[in-house]
Amino acid sequence: AQRVTQPEKLLSVFKGAPVELKCNYSYSGSPELFWYVQYSRQRLQLLLRHISRESIKGFTADLNKGETSFHLKKPFAQEEDSAMYYCALSGLASGANSKLTFGKGITLSVRP
């Protein structure tokens, strides 16, 4: 069975502070990990995925297979980063059925 755990429901920081949103996973095969974001009144959208190794909007995430973690980090938070963030997993061997397993999500609030 595959599972994604986001241990915190809410993170509130001041603008300019560092941010780390935690994500741990459980999966027996080779996982693909994602972070999705939902801004207020908008649809769920992909922020980044580990195979791309990109930095999007200043966010990065490194897959740590030893710790089974995929924490999302940003050195200096901006007010526009305030949103709901979901960590998600799919199996690389799943072929086209890349169904996603999501964590419960965390609300990031960046105060001015």
Partner 1 sequence: GAGVSQSPRYKVAKRGQDVALRCDPISGHVSLFWYQQALGQGPEFLTYFQNEAQLDKSGLPSDRFFAERPEGSVSTLKIQRTQQEDSAVYLCASSSGSLTETQYFGPGTRLLVL
Using CB under 8 A, pick the residue from 45, 55, 64, 109 that binds partner 1. 45
Using CB under 8 A, pick the residue from 46, 57, 67, 111 that binds partner 1. 46
- Which secondary structure element, helix H or strand E, spans residue 38, and what is its range? strand 31-38
Tokens describing residue 49: 């995925």
One-letter amino acid of 21: L
Contact assessment for residue 4 and residue 102, using Cβ atoms and an 8 Å cutoff: yes
One-letter amino acid of 76: F
Using CB under 8 A, pick the residue from 50, 60, 71, 102 that binds partner 1. 102
The Cα 91–Cα 3 span in angstroms is 11
Of residues 4-43, which lie at the interface with partner 1 (CB under 8 A)?
A: 4, 6, 43
Using CB under 8 A, pick the residue from 80, 104, 109, 111 that binds partner 1. 104
Under the rule (CB under 8 A), what is the footprint of partner 1?
A: 4, 6, 43-46, 49, 51, 86, 88, 92, 95-105
